[in-house]
Structure 1
Amino acid sequence: MEFLLAIITGLLYAAGLYMMLRRSLVKLIIGLIIISNGANLLIFLLGRITKGHPPIIPGDSKIFTEIYADPVPQALILTAIVISFGLQSFAIILIKRAYQVVKTDDLDEMNTIEEDYK
């Protein structure tokens, strides 16, 4: 299972990087979303997938005696999801404003002198 998730993570990174290298700003945002999903999957994969009990120590013992699920990668992924959502929404609004000013989403056409648009 971990090997399959590692391959899927690599494919997400490759597809995201390919989309980010395109000329369109919309494809750049889609690539950013795909890479952030790949990063979330990588964090989840590094936390090791185990089917275990919640990490609560019983009152009569001092250590864990059974396999437990690590909550730290899950908390990191939740934080990363919130941060990536904020970044994506900001980038979408920024692209919308740039499209309104320049009337194109092609990065080569946007690379002109600013005085042409005033």
Structure 2
Amino acid sequence: MTLTLEFLVASGIGWTSACGIYLLLRGRTFPVVLGLTLLGYAVNVFIFAMGRLWIALPPIVQAGRGSADPLPQALVLTAIVIGFATTGLVIEMALRSRHEAGTDHVDGAPPAQEDR
């Protein structure tokens, strides 16, 4: 079995998505923020890979040569900027929720303590 570049990129996207979903399902706010960030990275790499994985091709059309598609690159660059802004907003909301609720659990209540 030979490992191709497409297989490695698809595996990386899958693992990043799985880790992001796992962190989203945690009970505290910090892992939820990390999960959202990882999912954002997975989506960015997915969009970038949809432009096909070209090696040593310019993004500018030249006579007689192929070219890489610059649109996915522009979309990913825009998504990175929006992702940073969204992450900052979610962190601010998490800090505000912790301040008002007194706990950093997503549902606002700590887990029930078992009586021993």
The answer for unaligned runs of 5 or more in structure 1 is 58-63, 112-118
The answer for unaligned runs of 5 or more in structure 2 is 110-116
Aligned pair partner of 2:37 in 33, 37, 44: 33
RMSD (CA atoms): 1.3
Quote the residue 2:113 is aligned against.
none
Higher relative contact order, chain-length normalized (CA < 8 Å, sep 6+) = 1
Alignment partners' CA distance in 1, 2:90 and 2:42: 19
Quote the residue 2:59 is aligned against.
54
TM-score scaled by length of structure 2: 0.84
TM-score scaled by length of structure 1: 0.83
Quote the residue 1:83 is aligned against.
82
- The number of aligned residues is 104
Task: Return the structure number with greater helix share.
Answer: 1
Extract structure 1 runs of 4+ deviating beyond 4 A: none
Q: Is 1:18 equivalent to 2:22 in the alignment?
A: yes
Report Cα offsets for 1:45-87 as digits up to 9, x if no partner: 1110112123244xxxxxx421112110100000110111111
Alignment partners' CA distance in 2, 1:34 and 1:106: 20
Alignment partners' CA distance in 1, 2:32 and 2:59: 39
